[in-house]
Amino acid sequence: MQATRIVAVRHGETAWNVDTRIQGHLDIPLNDTGLWQAERLARALVGEPIAAIYTSDLQRARATAQAVARATGAPLSTEPGLRERSFGCFQGRTFAQIETERPEDARRWRRREPDYAPEGGESLAALRARITRITHALAQQHLGEQVLLVAHGGVLDTLYRLATGQEIQTPRTWQLSNAAINRLLWTPDGLTLVGWADTRHLDEADEAARDEPHS
């Protein structure tokens, strides 16, 4: 049975990540650390056979993917299906604000109720269905090859759950680090986990590398 190798990456850091402010579909750019992370990610993937790069259309993911495309020469396509979960009325707020302003919504969110959606947003069940569908569609086009998917924390969380058989409501015990390298294998039977949360390309860099200009 032919398979598709997938490298899945969460975008580099943004100022709102630092502030624990919920981004969702809001189009927030990378901060300086995020730009640095994108360049380090690109260097780490140079030399790997990447047949195609697919990125969320939000600029924090797109800028991360563009750094890899420049370094590797792999073709880059924008795929709105890889967007973060829409958090509706939660977008732009911090976790602390939601707890204070909408305690009942916060409780349902913490419980990871599969069909609960913030007002104007997307449920976890809908997110899972979307990511399952788009991953299947993209992987089918690249049997025997490796592709890079650049997306968001909620997307990466969903991919991990799909690959390990974790239910939507299972508490998360795995990392969703910015610009970490995560590896999956896709076959028509589904996803399996190969490696997760590899940040060696970020940890091994010396501080001087942060001062290098961003291309």
Active-site amino acid positions: 11, 84
Instruction: Provide the phi-psi class of 44: left if phi over 0, else alpha when psi is between -120 and 50, else beta.
Output: alpha
DSSP symbols for 129-159:
HHHHHHHHHHHHTTTTSEEEEEE-HHHHHHH
Which ranges constitute the DSSP H helices of 19-102? 32-45, 59-72, 95-101
Chain-centroid distance of CA 157 in Å reads: 8
Instruction: Provide the phi-psi class of 99: left if phi over 0, else alpha when psi is between -120 and 50, else beta.
Output: alpha
Helices H / strands E in the chain, number of each: 8, 6
DSSP for residue 43: H
Amino acid letter, residue 16: W
> Which of 49, 47, 56, 51 has the alpha carbon at shortest distance from 12?
56
> By the 8 A CB rule, do 147 and 172 touch?
no
